[in-house]
């Protein structure tokens, strides 16, 4: 049922769409995809062009806006559709609770194989045609993984797009999972160096916590174990604008005096839990590496690429660092098998995750020939020091997609779209209008 909500300066309207679970079988099982329409209050009744937002992830729902916020530049020109990609937000869920209804781990893995960018793009096209009509194009804005989806969109159905905006999300077109992580670990190492340069006192603070975790069994407030490797996973923060500071302030409150001496404080452990738990976004862990699976690159599957490639970078071995008196390095946007041994939201999906990791022959997500002949204007922000998406891969893809203009900036990190108070989005829209 459609409902409308009014916030200061904006009007939000709910939309629900039934789409095929498998678009190659349109008459088969249907799932629901939710989207929220966002429009400036003073333009509510105008016939505006549409801009669909493709969220980063995979596995995260679209933002829940309160007022114009960083959407203000878009709301001056568009009616925005915030899409909860399949399995996320208010769309038909895909988590340990709902997936249990699918049957065996093999059946769950087969189901989740339909939750990649190719299916998301086909959902978007189904929604576009129902909402706007067959012949009306819309603009797209893809953040991070949403930019990957945009590149798939330009490969599969460019006829649906009027113009495309991408922020921190141009993927390597023919880059496999191993190569992705082989390039990622040095970027993460550089972020560690920058973090410790900013907060040199944290070298000792991190070592002290890692030593404690290596010698003691520590549980987070949800009862799950906090291992050294799980502590290192806090490095996910280091690729965001305020991430260095967030991590530092978290570490500041790590210790408290108890009857038996210093122990890790409840406040610290809860802060860690909030960062490392994937209860709100289990799809991020389940299909993350699958986003790099393409049969033309490798028919063997991803096979826990982040874990395998990590062995090539022994400097991320925390126990070795402790033994050798070196700083303990945090890791980054990598999905490891042990996540499915420690996170309560993921433990029931352990076998499903292994089946997905071993799954080979993933359909290609990008069509280089079609992209080389692209006629859709593309405007992309490439973050020079992006920890999550390789700059060189992004620039190579920008050159490979005809009609792409890039803005390379070191002013913002990967989350520039969200934290720049509209400056990143405003710059891209200005580029599209010949004003920048």
Which residues are CB-contacts of 59 (< 8 A; sequence separation ≥ 6)? 87, 88, 281, 282, 283, 284, 285, 286, 287, 288
69's tokens: 């916020």
Catalytic-role residue among 42, 222, 266, 361: 361
CA-angle at 287, arms to 341 and 414, nearest 5°: 100
CA dist., res. 388 & res. 167, Å (int)? 12
List the end-to-end C-alpha distance of the chain, in Å, as a whole number: 42
Is 135 an annotated catalytic residue? Answer: no
Is 414 an annotated catalytic residue? Answer: yes
CA dist., res. 68 & res. 303, Å (int)? 42
DSSP assignment letter at 384: T
CA dist., res. 134 & res. 243, Å (int)? 43
Reduce the DSSP state of residue 153 to 3 states and report it.
helix
Catalytic-role residue among 91, 119, 144, 155: 144
- Unique residue bearing structure tokens 């209804």: 101
Which residue from 159, 16, 133, 31 is spatially nearest to 81, judged by alpha carbons? 16
**What's phi and psi for 312, nearest 5 deg?**
-80, -5
Q: Is 86 left (phi over 0), alpha (psi -120 to 50) or beta?
A: beta
Number of other residues whose CB lies within 10 A of the CB of residue 200: 10
208's tokens: 């002290």
Which residue from 346, 394, 367 is spatially nearest to 144, judged by alpha carbons? 394
336's tokens: 């490891």
User: In whole angstroms, what separates CA 195 from the centre of its chain?
Assistant: 22
- Unique residue bearing structure tokens 């070196």: 326
DSSP assignment letter at 328: P
Catalytic-role residue among 212, 414, 415, 420: 414
List active site positions. Answer: 144, 361, 414
């Amino acid at each position: 049922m459609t409902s409308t909500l009014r916030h200061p300066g904006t009007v939000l309207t709910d939309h629900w769409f039934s789409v095929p679970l498998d678009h190659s079988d349109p008459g088969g099982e249907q799932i629901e995809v939710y989207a929220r329409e966002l429009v400036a209050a003073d333009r509510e009744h105008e016939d505006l062009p549409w801009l669909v937002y493709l969220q980063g992830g995979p596995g995260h729902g679209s933002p829940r806006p309160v007022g114009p916020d960083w959407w203000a530049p878009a709301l001056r020109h568009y009616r925005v559709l915030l899409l909860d990609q399949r399995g996320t937000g208010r769309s038909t869920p895909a988590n340990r609770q709902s997936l249990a209804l699918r049957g065996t781990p093999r059946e769950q893995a087969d189901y989740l194989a339909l939750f990649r960018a190719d299916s998301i793009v086909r959902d978007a096209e189904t929604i576009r045609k129902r909402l706007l009509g067959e012949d009306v194009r819309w603009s797209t804005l893809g953040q991070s993984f949403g930019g990957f989806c945009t590149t798939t969109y330009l490969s599969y159905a460019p006829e649906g797009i009027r113009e495309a905006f991408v922020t921190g999300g141009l993927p390597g077109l023919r880059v496999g999972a191993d190569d992705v992580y082989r390039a990622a670990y040095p970027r993460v190492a550089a972020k560690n160096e920058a973090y410790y340069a900013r907060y040199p006192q944290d070298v000792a603070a991190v070592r002290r916590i890692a030593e404690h975790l290596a010698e003691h069994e520590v549980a987070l407030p949800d009862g799950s174990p906090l291992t050294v490797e799980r502590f290192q996973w806090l490095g996910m923060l280091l690729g965001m604008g305020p991430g260095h500071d967030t991590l530092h302030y978290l570490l500041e409150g790590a210790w408290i005096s108890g009857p038996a001496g210093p122990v890790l404080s409840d406040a610290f452990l809860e802060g860690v839990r909030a960062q490392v738990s994937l209860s709100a976004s289990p799809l991020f862990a389940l299909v993350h590496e699958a986003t790099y699976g393409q049969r033309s690159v490798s028919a063997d599957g991803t096979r826990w690429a982040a874990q395998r490639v990590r062995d090539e970078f022994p400097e991320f071995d925390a126990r070795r660092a402790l033994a050798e008196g070196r700083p303990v390095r945090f890791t980054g946007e990598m999905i490891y098998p042990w996540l499915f041994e420690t996170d309560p939201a993921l433990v029931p999906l352990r076998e499903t995750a292994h089946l997905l990791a071993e799954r080979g022959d993933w359909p290609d997500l990008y069509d280089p020939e079609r992209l080389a002949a692209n006629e859709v204007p593309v405007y992309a922000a490439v973050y020079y020091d992006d920890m999550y998406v390789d700059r060189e891969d992004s620039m190579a893809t920008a050159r490979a997609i005809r009609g792409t203009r890039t803005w390379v900036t070191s002013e913002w990190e990967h989350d520039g779209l969200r934290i720049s108070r509209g400056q990143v989005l405003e710059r891209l829209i200005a580029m599209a209008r010949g004003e920048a």
